[in-house]
Structure 1
Amino acid sequence: MTDVEFFVTPGYGDAALQREHYSQAVRIGDRVEIAGQGGWDDAMDFPESLDEEIARAFGNVSRTLALAGAGWGHVVHVNSYHVGLDIDYERVNQVMADLFRRWTPERAPIWTCLGVAALGHPRMRVEVRVTAILPD
């Protein structure tokens, strides 16, 4: 049977584990799945700028992947969820595309982008969830 290992990001992940009883990432063999990451800091504060919130979410993805021995270079699939996507989708898509080019310059992972009415925190406007495959 394949080993299953869960990971909790220090700071905000510790708080989420205590409050909502969930982990930030799981590694099953060569596959890493992470919970959706928002653009928060460890105190669950969010920046005013939507662009900065999206960039911070990418940084939190990186931080969480690293716990499981992965990085953006291993990412094969991205789901992103956006509050207000219908209002400014061109800007959001451009920011996301620019960040993909920065964080995954060697590959273009598949991406599903969804507009939603709300996310898990009332101040969240973006959540990014990824799947990564580690090399043999």
Structure 2
Amino acid sequence: MRRQRVQSGTEWEERVGYSRAVRVGDRVLVSGTTATDEAGVIDGDAAAQTTRAIRNVDRALTEAGAGLDDVVRTRLFVTDFEGDWEAVGQAHAEAFGEVRPAATMVEVSRLVDPAMRVEIEVEAVVGGEGS
């Protein structure tokens, strides 16, 4: 099966050897994505960072011919579960609405940059039943 890779252009993709997203057939897998823009990690609370990370995920999905409506699974990694889980969950719910993908949220001791509070990875199925 043909593999379509989506690159965002960061130096890390080449250095670490990964793609922002990979599409194989009707499946799109998006790598762990954080709340970054051209200037780096955005300032903001967990909700703002979650919203930005999902916007970055949506951009990768779009390049792969998918969208948030095609997402079937999310994994959320948070650095302060007790303090942030509700804000992260609310931002996730607002972004996905009735799509309601299968989701996992776990606490991690840290992310690659100490300013990052959340990282999200997703799996999508394009043209699946219910799309």
- Which TM-score applies when normalising by structure 2? 0.87
Deviation at 1:27, TM superposition (A): 0.7
The alignment-based identity, stated in percent, is: 34
Look up the match of 1:131: 123
Look up the match of 1:31: 27
Gaps of 5+ in 2: none
Aligned 8 A contact 2:47 2:90 in 1: no
Residue-by-residue CA offset, 1:30-59 (whole Å, 9 max, x unaligned):
100010110111232322332211110010
Secondary structure of the 2:106 match is strand
Aligned 8 A contact 1:38 1:124 in 2: yes
1:50 pairs, out of 46, 52, 60, with 46
> Hey, what's the Cα distance between the residues in 2 that align with 1:123 and 1:99?
22
- Which TM-score applies when normalising by structure 1? 0.84
The count of corresponding residues between Structure 1 and Structure 2 is 128
Residues 49 and 91 (structure 1), Cα distance of their counterparts in 2 relative to 1, 3 Å cut: closer
> Hey, what's the Cα distance between the residues in 1 that align with 2:85 and 2:10?
33
> Hey, what's the Cα distance between the residues in 2 that align with 1:90 and 1:51?
9
Equivalences for 1:70-81 in 2 at 5 Å? Answer: 70-81=66-77
Q: Moved runs in structure 1, 4+ residues, more than 4 A?
A: none
1:118 correspondence with 2:110: yes
Gaps of 5+ in 1: none
1:41 pairs, out of 32, 37, 45, with 37
Aligned 8 A contact 2:21 2:61 in 1: yes
Deviation at 1:93, TM superposition (A): 2.3
> Hey, what's the Cα distance between the residues in 1 that align with 2:60 and 2:79?
22
Residues 82 and 4 (structure 1), Cα distance of their counterparts in 2 relative to 1, 3 Å cut: same
Look up the match of 2:18: 22
